[in-house]
Amino acid sequence: MSKLKVVHYINQFFAGIGGEEKADYKPEVREGVVGPGMAFNKKFGDDAEIVATVICGDSYFNENLEEAKAKVIEMVKEYDPDLFMAGPAFNAGRYGVACGTITDAVKEELNIPVITGMYEENPGADMFKKSVHIVETRNSAAGMRKAVKSMAPLAVKLAKGEEIGSPEEEHYMPMGVRKNYFAEKRGAERAVDMLVKKLKGEEFKTEFAMPDFDRVDANPAVKDLSKAKVALVTSGGIVPKDNPDHIESSSASKYGKYDISDFNNLTEETHETAHGGYDPVYANEDSDRVLPVDVLRDLEKEGRIGELHKFFYTTTGNGTAVASSKAFAEEFAKELVADGVDAVILTST
């Protein structure tokens, strides 16, 4: 019996082309395996083989979404594969979004099984775990061996059209699918059993896991705004003209800190947005629409606030990993405190 044909998608880093400096690499297809494909082919054994590898830079894919999707789908279609596989992306945000986007698109347009893998906090996971099988991985490429061990068997099952077990059994993220089954005990008994175990402090497993949301207690109100130093922070991507620090348009890996002490307002000549998740036209015309420097200068002159902090902090919020966002905030919050800032206005899009 011939082996199942697999087309594999990877980014510029795993293809050995380069890092961030090569993130604008355009889609390219190569015969056979590249990079992590070697480990997958070994794990597939006699069941499947990677016949082609599609490579695309993370920035290029996310910043040219429709064009990149169309090009990659065209490349995949040429090989008439039994399965399309992407990644794994681990905790690389833009790579994860690209893997999720392209697997979902291939599934819809070519009607073939697809699979990818990434860390649970990767933004691509939240975006696509309900529509494609995403195997949960560790947060870095150090977990490649384990990722291959979980992804390869599930990939073969999907390609063969075999019955797929539960997320726990197959190591993929829950897709929100419910299946009827006959249980030995009725629901009321199972619920009481879980309650008793919980009361006793014993281990138990819920049948319906609830989402776990962060709860942040509000700080006390500022007692006197007329004496307060107020800072601006934004996830709307406002940056000096030409984006000097090259903050990514989505799945940001960094934030910027910029001096506004000489600005009473932000103009089309001085500032713009780097954000790729909303129409930038109005923000580029007048960045005060996202980062209200002009209004705060007025409040400062009127004595309604003590002063506007000389620096603002900025990043792009769309697709950026929660873990990255927290890390950014923890870092610059220390600077804000050290600079005597009393209050922060956080603007979005």
Q: What is the pLDDT of residues 1-41, one digit of tens each?
A: 689 999 999 999 999 999 888 989 999 999 999 999 999 99
Cα gap 300→254, rounded to integer Å: 30
Q: What is the pLDDT of residues 73-118, one digit of tens each?
A: 999 999 999 999 999 999 888 899 999 999 999 999 999 999 999 9
HSE-CB at 58 with a 13 A cutoff on CA atoms is 29
Average confidence score pLDDT of the chain: 92
Cis check for the bond before 88: say yes or no (omega within 30 of 0).
Answer: yes
Long-range contacts of 17-21 (CB under 8 A, 24+ apart): 17/55, 17/57, 20/253
Domains of the chain: 4-170 (3.40.50.2000), 225-347 (no CATH)
HSE-CB at 290 with a 13 A cutoff on CA atoms is 32
Q: What is the pLDDT of residues 206-240, one digit of tens each?
A: 887 777 777 888 888 999 999 999 999 999 999 99
Helices 65-78 and 93-110: crossing angle in degrees, nearest 10, is 60
- Is residue 251 predicted with pLDDT exceeding 90? no
Q: What six digits make up the tokens of 69? A: 């999707």
Distance, first Cα to last Cα, the chain: 55
The whole-number pLDDT of residue 1 equals 61
Q: What is the pLDDT of residues 312-337, one digit of tens each?
A: 999 998 877 777 888 899 999 999 99
- Count CB neighbours of 224 within 10 A: 9
**Calculated CA dihedral for residues 143, 149, 155, 157, nearest 10 degrees:** -150
